Amino acid sequence: MTRRLVGVLRARLPELGLEQVKDPRRKHGRRWSLPSLLTSVLVGVVCGRKSLAETESLTGSLTRAMRRLLKVPRRVPDTTARDALVQVEPDELREVVRRQCRAAWRRKALKPQGLPCGVVSIDGKGTATPFTEGRFVQKQGESYGVVRTLGSALISSEATVCLDAEPIP
């Protein structure tokens, strides 16, 4: 991870308001603050890590100065990050994305390129897990194992920005 990337993260992380995300975990036995766990996962995504195990190795290799800048005190175990992420409400994380988009809009970072107005693309996605196919799958009734989402992205700015992603029940 470069110092430049750490500088960008350090400048933009306060805009996200990660400390406003409600922590659903029990207070007893909690060793990690939720903002530091979310920050470590975000750093892993920004650095192109594809799993929480890779993010764990990334946080383990950070220098003391970078950890202090990012407010990630030590190596974040992948199981700790996973256990926290599965408990956080998706709407709480969607609100973080909205705060980030509003902050970028206010600082004029989402100015339209080549068009006089902003253009948003709305796209539906559906993924099926391997449990929906095969010899033992139930063919009647509703299909199980399908995750559907409706996403929106601002496509008229220089960088394509995800505005929202809504799970469809």
Q: In the prediction, which pLDDT does 143 show?
A: 57
Q: In the prediction, which pLDDT does 114 show?
A: 84
Based on the fold, state whether residues 98 and 141 are members of the same structural domain.
no
Based on the fold, state whether residues 65 and 85 are members of the same structural domain.
yes
Range of the domain at 115: 111-168
Based on the fold, state whether residues 22 and 87 are members of the same structural domain.
yes
Based on the fold, state whether residues 8 and 70 are members of the same structural domain.
yes
Q: In the prediction, which pLDDT does 92 show?
A: 92
Domain final residue pick, 77, 104, 131: 104
Q: In the prediction, which pLDDT does 167 show?
A: 84
Domain final residue pick, 104, 129, 157: 104
Residue 144's alpha-carbon distances to 57, 94, 130, 133, 148, in angstroms, are 34, 25, 10, 10, 11
Based on the fold, state whether residues 36 and 74 are members of the same structural domain.
yes
Full pLDDT tens readout for the chain, 169 residues? 777 888 888 889 999 999 999 999 888 878 899 999 999 999 999 999 999 999 999 999 999 988 988 889 999 999 999 999 999 998 999 999 999 999 999 999 888 888 888 899 999 988 766 555 555 555 666 656 677 889 999 999 988 888 998 888 7
Domain final residue pick, 104, 132, 158: 104
Based on the fold, state whether residues 87 and 123 are members of the same structural domain.
no
The reply to whether the predicted model has a pTM over 0.75 is: yes
Based on the fold, state whether residues 9 and 80 are members of the same structural domain.
yes
Amino acid at residue number 67: R
Based on the fold, state whether residues 92 and 120 are members of the same structural domain.
no
| Spatial distance between the Cα atoms of 34 and 31, rounded to a whole number of angstroms | 10
CA-wise closest residue to 122 among 97, 146, 100, 149: 149
Number of folded domains that form the chain? 2
Q: In the prediction, which pLDDT does 133 show?
A: 57
